[in-house]
Amino acid sequence: TIVKVVSGMDKESLDTIAKVYELVVDAGVHRAESIKVAEAAKVIENSQRDINIAFMNELSIIFNKMGIDTQAVLKAAGTKWNFLKFHPGLVGGHCIGIDPYYLTYKAEQMGYHSQIILSGRKINDDMGKYVAESTVKKMIKANKQINGSKVAIFGITFKENCPDVRNTKVMDVINELEEYGIEVKIVDPVADKEDLWRGYRIVPCKSEEITDIDAIIFAVPHQEFKTIKLESLKKMYRKAKNVNADLMGESASTIESGEVVKANNNVLIDVKGMFDREEAENMGYLYWRL
């Protein structure tokens, strides 16, 4: 259903390759004039997407500092016909996160130092650390003990509804959290379990095995996760101990006999905005998203 870019070492090769693809590609083929042109087209297609997502990620960092919801801003901007609809997120995989480096490496060999492409790459490469640090900040706000705490991450593949874990940036989140002494549990029914063990020595858990958690991160919005209700997540969290109201201050929602009955300390990090922010906050979650 997508036009295929094809090329060959000479006109005869190109004609043969194009005719073979035309047998199975309903959308047709585009005959590039050389293999270099075809390869360059593939590289800039992924580089362009990488740069656009990097722009969204940078906006998310800025808007979070301003106390503005990025998703709300993008929804408003998306009403304009000429606005390109990209969203912030973790950029990994074996194409978008890698192809820009092919291009900039070749450019360096030719004596040109890339500015825009590498700037976008740096922003996207740092997003895993940013998500982890934002998680820790929310946990501190929720009066969580960081060292020795437990965090569950839902989704570890490099994109949704795909078993591929190659170059997944969720690993950056995991590694950064572990630097804080946090125990990380992974839930991902889609990920290739053999590749996950071979590449990262990780054995995923089932969602029903997740208990006594201090924070939950939804890193990849798999279709399987979209049936999960906010209410059902609550049983996964560590039960908050009653604390003297004087110590809790405004974080106490109800106070009886000097003890906190209910506290807003269920940290929910929704990287791609899978849940409704207002609903989550009304249910008492300490909610954050890109």
Share of the chain above pLDDT 90, in %: 88
The active-site residue out of 5, 29, 44, 95 is: 95
- Residue range 18-31: average pLDDT? 96
For the ranges 89-103, 119-133, 265-279, which has the lowest average pLDDT? 89-103
Is 95 known to be catalytic? yes
* pLDDT at residue 97, rounded to an integer: 85
User: 155 with 188: CB under 8 angstroms?
Assistant: yes
65 vs 250, more confident: 65
* pLDDT at residue 253, rounded to an integer: 46
* pLDDT at residue 246, rounded to an integer: 45
The pTM is what? Answer: 0.86
- Residue range 69-97: average pLDDT? 93
- Residue range 88-114: average pLDDT? 92
- Residue range 155-177: average pLDDT? 95
Looking at residue 185, its amino acid is: K
* pLDDT at residue 283, rounded to an integer: 92
User: 171 with 128: CB under 8 angstroms?
Assistant: yes
Please state, rounded to an integer, the average pLDDT across all residues of the chain. 91
- Residue range 23-49: average pLDDT? 95
* pLDDT at residue 247, rounded to an integer: 45
Per-residue pLDDT tens digits for 240-263: 765 444 444 444 444 443 433 345
Per-residue pLDDT tens digits for 198-246: 999 999 999 999 999 999 999 999 999 999 999 999 999 988 765 444 4
For the ranges 16-20, 119-123, 195-199, 264-268, which has the lowest average pLDDT? 264-268
* pLDDT at residue 261, rounded to an integer: 36
Q: Quick check: 113 pLDDT over 50? A: yes
Residue with tokens 């990780």: 202
Question: Residue 9 corresponds to which tokens in the numbers above?
Answer: 């070492």
Give CA–CA dist 87/147, Å, rounded.
32
* pLDDT at residue 114, rounded to an integer: 92
Q: Quick check: 50 pLDDT over 90? A: yes
Which residues in 160-198 are b (16+ Cβ under 10 Å) and which e?
Answer: beeebbebbbbbbbbebbeebebebbbbbebbbeeebee
Q: Quick check: 6 pLDDT over 80? A: yes
**Is residue 179 very low, low, confident or very high in pLDDT (cuts 50, 70, 90)?**
very high
Q: Which one, of 105, 103, 112, lies nearest residue 36 by Cα?
A: 103
